[in-house]
Amino acid sequence: MLPQEIVRKKRDRQPLAPDEIAAFVAGLTDGSFSEGQVAALGMAIFLNGMERDEAVALTLAMRDSGTVLDWSDMPGPVTDKHSTGGVGDNVSLMLAPIVATCGAYVPMISGRGLGHTGGTLDKMDAIPGYASQPDKALFRKVVREVGCAVIGQTADLAPADKRFYAIRDVTGTVESIPLITASILSKKLAAGLQSLVLDVKAGNGAFMATKKSASGLAQSLVAVANGAGLPTTALMTDMNQPLASAAGNAVEVANAVDFLTGRARDRRLEEVTLALAAEMLLAAGIASTHRQAESLAGNALSSGRAADVFGRMVSALGGPADFVEKYQTYLPQAPVIRPVKSGKSGFVTAIASRDIGIAVVALGGGRTKPEDVIDHAVGITALAPVGTDIAKGDALAIVHARNEADADQAEAAVHAAYTLGEGRPRMPRPVIRRIALSS
């Protein structure tokens, strides 16, 4: 099957047959399709779109380009969650142990941060000794014995996606809903899940800035996942302000431990986390009603059992056995810690979340290139949420920096990201809507 004929067909707005899509993915994987041919097909799809059946075929072919995990020997349902990314989004660190406490198994294969959004794997790497990329035997052992494991993607899961994304990234075709859909879902299907819940974020800190674009992506993901045989629902959540009061790596881990132990819980973060947990428990068949699912998730958190599961997971993957109790002594700390004081009084009416994320990257807490080395200690904490009544001189946030010059830059970025006004703003709900196959 000639690559140029497949490109021509999609260029001319004709749907591709499953065997044509399979041939394309095989060429992606073995290199028999040139970079130019892959780029041309990516642009044709970007411009002309894909029908649902095409996106399903692409997702399944990319799934089958590498290893597909099998969890059929687990004594309970296997489920996971995927977030489209945001600022201060450390939900996975609490969500996996909460759902595992309730009897599901959560093999959470996560990614690293790129751009202004943080990566779950980078957060876990802030924990000394934690093996974020264990071998398959240890991964399976921890999932079975603890109930969850948060690790990184291995090279043999959906390898076609890695090459395709790299080419899309340099040819201006990343922002294609069918291609984003296939990229996300091929890896989740390769993980061998029995159900999936998606957290699709909308707002100024999300890749999908508008509710309309986020809804389009969520509907595509749900339709294609179910079409590929993976029961999936989605929650659209608000990312017009950082979700947690911390943005960074070690600082978000500390925030997660405080959340799990009850030392401190950001209100919006708690609402989103428990909503996603309830959705996962419903999808996994652990709960039969939403009320029951909410109760199970809430009890797992309030009883301290989820914190215990998190601690056991960290220890089983090589981290300190007493990490939950003594996380302050283990997590790296930045040498410069500086409050960002407001120059005026007023209510916080808006936060440019993406700018907060970019400030963390500039501190060294994120990447502009995949090979960049992360500084796990830096970040921003105590981020005042929208609606906070600020007096002149009060702290809008606290900067954690490697040096004074970096702290100066981050302080200026925080000031620029915050808008203060005279009236208390309307407070949007953090969970916007639920999207299921029929919605």
Report the alpha-carbon distance of residue 335 to residue 58 in Å, rounded: 48
Report the alpha-carbon distance of residue 421 to residue 204 in Å, rounded: 19
Task: Report the sign of the C-alpha dihedral through residues 383, 412, 417, 239, in that order.
Answer: negative
Q: Identify the three-state secondary structure at position 419.
A: strand
- The answer on pLDDT for 377 being more than 80 is yes
Which whole number is the average pLDDT over 399-421? 98
Q: Is 187 a catalytic residue?
A: yes
- 365, 362, 386, 383: which is closest to 374 by C-alpha? 365
- Which one of 10, 81, 116, 354 is the catalytic residue? 81
Q: Is 81 a catalytic residue?
A: yes
Q: Is 188 a catalytic residue?
A: yes
Q: Please give the mean pLDDT across all residues of the chain.
A: 95
* Residues with Cβ within 8 Å of residue 148, at least 6 apart in sequence: 96, 97, 99, 100, 105, 106, 107, 108, 142, 309, 313
Q: How many CA atoms lie within 13 A of 152 on its CB side?
A: 16
Q: How many CA atoms lie within 13 A of 128 on its CB side?
A: 13
- Which one of 29, 120, 176, 261 is the catalytic residue? 120
- Which one of 116, 123, 140, 188 is the catalytic residue? 188
- Which one of 117, 183, 245, 353 is the catalytic residue? 183
Residue 199 Cα to chain centre, angstroms: 8
Q: 19 exposed, middle or buried (CB, 10 Å; 0-12, 13-18, 19+)?
A: exposed
Report the alpha-carbon distance of residue 199 to residue 239 in Å, rounded: 11
Q: Tens digits of per-residue pLDDT, 299-349?
A: 999 999 999 999 999 999 999 999 999 999 999 999 999 999 999 999 999
Measured in residues, the chain has a length of 439
Residue 381: in which H helix or E strand, if any? strand 379-381
- Which one of 140, 162, 168, 265 is the catalytic residue? 168
| pLDDT for 439 | 53
Cβ–Cβ under 8 Å, residues 365 and 379? yes
Q: Identify the three-state secondary structure at position 196.
A: strand
At residue 379, what are phi and psi to the nearest 5 degrees? 160, -165
- Which one of 112, 187, 201, 376 is the catalytic residue? 187
Which whole number is the average pLDDT over 373-402? 97
Report the alpha-carbon distance of residue 384 to residue 16 in Å, rounded: 50
Single-letter residue type at 195: S
- Which one of 83, 101, 132, 261 is the catalytic residue? 83
- The answer on pLDDT for 213 being more than 80 is yes
DSSP annotation of 365: I
Tell me which residue has tokens 């044509």.
20
Residue 107 Cα to chain centre, angstroms: 14
Single-letter residue type at 144: R
| Residue 438 pLDDT level (bands cut at 50, 70, 90) | confident
Q: Is 120 a catalytic residue?
A: yes
Q: Is 369 a catalytic residue?
A: no
Q: Is 141 a catalytic residue?
A: no
| Residue 162 pLDDT level (bands cut at 50, 70, 90) | confident
- Which one of 82, 112, 123, 201 is the catalytic residue? 82
| pLDDT for 1 | 79
- Domains recognised in the chain with CATH numbers: 3-63 (1.20.970.10), 79-158+167-326 (3.40.1030.10), 333-421 (3.90.1170.30)
Q: Identify the three-state secondary structure at position 335.
A: coil
Q: Is 213 a catalytic residue?
A: no
Cβ–Cβ under 8 Å, residues 431 and 237? yes
- 197, 199, 221, 220: which is closest to 279 by C-alpha? 197
Query: In the chain, what is the straight-line distance between the N-terminal and C-terminal CA atoms, in Å?
Result: 38
Q: What is the pTM of this model?
A: 0.94
| pLDDT for 114 | 63
Task: Report the sign of the C-alpha dihedral through residues 274, 353, 200, 24, in that order.
Answer: negative
* Residues with Cβ within 8 Å of residue 112, at least 6 apart in sequence: 119, 121, 122, 152, 367, 370
| pLDDT for 308 | 98
